[in-house]
Homo-oligomer: A and B are copies of this chain.
Amino acid sequence: MSDADSPVDRLLETSPFDRHYGLEILEAGEEVVRGRVPVRERVTQPTGLVHGGVHASVAEALASLGTNHGVAGEGKIALGMSNSCSFLRPITAGAIHATARRRHRGRTTWIWDVELTDDDGKLCALGRVTVAVRTRPQE
């Protein structure tokens, strides 16, 4: 098994689900994570707007990835605990631009605020994600 396949490395990559809908990570650290999703038909709901679940998925992905950046090296793992998003303005074209910022680093939970904007920089969704930090099971 190469390093690229190690459990820690895997925690710092995008997940199969995130790759499936098209999340690209632009920056990842334990305080800030940034990503984008190109708007294609696959991320829309029936009227052509970006599906609210995509906003929630991006928020979840960025918060989990950022927490793993902080804890994976210590034998721990991030597990999403709750995810709350408000949808302010529709996105229909271009890309979803997302920035997650850590608001709380507790011993057992981290909290992230996530802003999702359109190509014009307008705020389209707000997410708050609580991530539990658990000991990683041995593989």
Contacts and interface: CB of A to CB of B under 8 A. Distances in A.
21 contacts: A10-B47, A15-B44, A15-B45, A16-B44, A17-B53, A17-B54, A18-B51, A20-B20, A51-B60, A52-B60, A52-B83, A53-B56, A53-B59, A53-B60, A57-B57, A79-B87, A82-B86, A83-B83, A86-B111, A88-B111, A104-B126
A64 B57 CA distance: 17
Contacts of A77: 47
A51 to B, nearest CB: 4
Nearest to A45: B15
A107 to B, nearest CB: 11
A67 interface: no
8 tightest Cβ-Cβ pairs between the two chains A and B: A53-B57, A56-B56, A52-B80, A15-B45, A17-B51, A84-B84, A52-B60, A53-B60
A45 B64 contact: yes
A40 B109 CA distance: 28
A65 to B, nearest CB: 9
Contact of A56 (B20, B44, B83): B83
Contacts of A44: 15-17
Contact of A128 (B15, B17, B86): B86
